[in-house]
């Protein structure tokens, strides 16, 4: 098949049942407003209250900023596409969306790994916590997570952009790198190799670090008193819930991208592919806002 110059892509996962489209638009609009409101609220609470300027809350603030970044890269374009009769996206906007979505995923894994390290130090070395988690180290871990994620994704997109494409139909409601590589009729060996390397660095490495830190935390909990175990569970439960929720969404995305979904209703396909971009940004503020007593009390004070 001959390669063609592509200036736009057709997003083929949308459907044209007007009543369902309007209902889906309203649902996603409400969801986006809730995501923006909840994440901005907790960012403001953490930034304004100096009592929350501790490593755990600063990492949480970075996590909430990333939720805003990822959802804002998707929802505005998604809402426009749902109401449109022609579901096309320009080449520059498509690659911008690829960069933002993949950066969001990578930063999320890195920040979750950094948060697990913070909990590991707090539980396993409580007397040395203030020494081991100084502000300079917290700043370095946070900025390092963002910069390394951006670097990995910049390399990925720079390898995909020059590819010669034999089509412009993406069977999704947004652009992702895997869909672009599948459209290529040129050699994608380098892209595939780098895809494996970047997946190992951005997914398996942070998840491995998280599993190691929690193994150490469990070891300490089994040999500690009941009060220490209860404190460890209360501080780690929201983080584990966030990790499981985000990993579940990523698994749904892999299934939706790699496997045939012909027998699955279109609405369910859209919701399945959007889970990791919509649910964690709404789930995390709710979990931390309800579970962390200091955040909960400060949020309550704003409305009383």
166-183 pLDDT, tens digit each:
888 888 888 889 889 988
Residues 108/39, Cβ–Cβ less than 8 Å: no
Cα–Cα distance for residue pair 25/21, rounded to 1 Å: 6
Task: Quote the DSSP letter at residue 186.
Answer: S
Q: Please report, in angstroms and rounded to a whole number, the separation of the first and last CA atoms in the chain.
A: 66
Nearest to 284 by CA among 38, 81, 87: 38
- For 89, the 3-state DSSP assignment is strand
- List of domains in the chain: 8-302 (1.20.1070.10)
Q: Residue 1: what pLDDT?
A: 44
Q: Mind listing the pLDDT tens digit for each residue in 254-291? A: 877 777 666 667 677 777 778 888 889 988 888 887 76
pTM of the full predicted structure? 0.91
Which DSSP helix (H) or strand (E) runs through 11?
Answer: strand 8-11
Cβ(194)–Cβ(159) below 8 Å: yes
Confidence of residue 225 (pLDDT cuts 50, 70, 90): low
Task: Quickly list DSSP for 221-284.
Answer: HHTS-HHHHHHHHHHHHHHHHHHHHHHHHHHHHHHHHHS--TTS-HHHHHHHHHHHHHHHHHHH
**H/E segment holding residue 169:** strand 169-170
Long-range contacts made by residues 196-199, C-beta under 8 angstroms, separation at least 24? 198/152, 198/153, 198/155, 198/156
């Amino acid at each position: 098949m001959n390669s063609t110059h592509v200036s736009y892509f057709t997003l083929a996962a949308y459907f044209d049942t007007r009543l369902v489209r309007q209902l889906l638009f309203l649902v996603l609009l409400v969801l986006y407003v809730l995501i923006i409101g909840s994440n901005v609220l907790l960012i403001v609470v953490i930034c304004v209250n100096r009592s929350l300027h501790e490593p755990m809350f600063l990492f949480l603030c970075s996590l909430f900023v990333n939720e805003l970044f990822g959802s804002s890269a998707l929802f505005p374009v998604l809402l426009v596409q749902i109401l449109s009769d022609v579901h096309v996206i320009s080449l520059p906007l498509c690659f911008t969306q690829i960069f933002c979505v993949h950066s969001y995923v990578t930063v999320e894994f890195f920040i979750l790994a950094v948060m697990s390290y913070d909990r590991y130090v707090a539980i396993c070395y409580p007397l040395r916590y203030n020494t081991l988690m100084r502000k300079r180290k917290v700043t370095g871990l946070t900025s390092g997570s963002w910069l390394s994620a951006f670097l990995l994704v910049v390399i990925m997109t720079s390898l995909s952009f020059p590819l010669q494409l034999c089509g412009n139909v993406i069977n999704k409601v947004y652009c992702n790198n895997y869909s672009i590589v599948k459209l290529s009729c040129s050699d994608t060996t380098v892209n595939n190799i780098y895809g494996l390397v970047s997946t190992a660095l951005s997914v398996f490495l942070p998840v491995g670090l998280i599993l190691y830190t929690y193994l150490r935390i469990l070891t300490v909990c089994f040999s500690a008193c009941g009060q220490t175990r209860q404190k460890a569970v209360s501080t780690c439960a929201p983080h584990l819930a966030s990790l499981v929720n985000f990993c579940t969404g990523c698994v749904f995305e892999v299934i939706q991208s790699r496997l045939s979904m012909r027998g699955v209703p279109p609405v369910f396909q859209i919701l399945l592919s959007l889970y990791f971009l919509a649910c964690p940004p709404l789930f995390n503020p709710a979990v931390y806002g309800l579970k962390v007593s200091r955040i909960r009390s400060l949020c309550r004070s704003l409305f009383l």
